[in-house]
Amino acid sequence: MLDLGEVLDPFRKQVIDVKDALARARYLYDGLDLILENVEDSKIRGASQEVFSAASERMDTIDAMLDEFYRQLSSADRTLENYKVNPKG
């Protein structure tokens, strides 16, 4: 029988890789935000803060979705493992 863990592992790795990429993007985003704090034009600072606020919310949403997807993958793997141990439930 096919081991679901072996099937799910590449997906879990992809989730981790995407979360790492998101963390790197957030790091760059924070750096750009710091640079823009020193801009003298208040309109540019205000606009950039709005953009960064919206981007931050979306990054947080994506991060939460990835966490949930990873939990679901792990739960499916555990469910199958429990089923293999006790096939009648």
Q: Is the pLDDT confidence value at 53 over 80?
A: yes
pTM: 0.73
Q: How confident is the model at residue 63 (pLDDT cuts 50, 70, 90)?
A: very high
User: Distances from the Cα of 57 to the Cαs of 41, 54, 64, in angstroms?
Assistant: 25, 5, 11
pLDDT in tens, 11-52: 899 999 999 999 999 898 888 888 888 888 989 888 888 998
DSSP string, 13-61: HHHHHHHHHHHHHHHHHHHHHHHHHT-S-HHHHHHHHHHHHHHHHHHHH
Residues 6+ apart with CB under 8 A from 70: 12, 15, 16
User: Under a CB-based contact definition with an 8 Å cutoff, are residues 5 and 77 in contact?
Assistant: yes
